[in-house]
Amino acid sequence: MDMAFSLNSKLIATASGDHSVALWKPSSEALKHKLAGHKSVVRSVAFSPDGTLLASASYDNTVKVWSTDLGTLNATFEGHTDWVMGVAFSPR
């Protein structure tokens, strides 16, 4: 599994074998959102440069993009024929 810090260090995202992503507030060690929607293990997570979006890659052959403020799903990218092992955002 994977974990990532937002560039402003206000959030940590952790990928999980329970098919979810957890968003944590490191300042208080509190769970901000549990992002559920993948159908298999979440392998990788990455924050957008401004920290407003989080991408997650899964063994369910999808990439999902989430709002970090609301904890809502913005998009699902399907079409892979095998596991998606990693995600990244462009610095721009």
What is the rounded CA–CA span in Å between residue 35 and residue 54?
10
**What value, to the nearest 5°, has the Cα angle with vertex 18 and ends 29 and 76?**
95
Contact 59, 86 (CB under 8 A): no
| Domain edges within the chain | 3-77
Q: Considering the chain, what percentage of its residues have pLDDT values greater than 70?
A: 100
Q: What pLDDT is recorded for position 32?
A: 96
Q: State CA 44 to chain mean position distance.
A: 7
What is the rounded CA–CA span in Å between residue 12 and residue 32?
10
Strands 42-47 and 30-36: unpaired
For residue 33, list its beta bridge partners: 23
Q: What pLDDT is recorded for position 80?
A: 95
The two three-digit tokens of residue 56, written as one number: 């997650």
List, for residues 21-44, the tens digit of each pLDDT value.
999 999 999 999 999 999 999 999
For residue 73, list its beta bridge partners: 66
Give yes or no for residue 92 having a pLDDT over 80.
no
Give yes or no for residue 1 having a pLDDT over 80.
no
The CATH architecture assigned to 3-77 reads Beta Barrel (2.40)
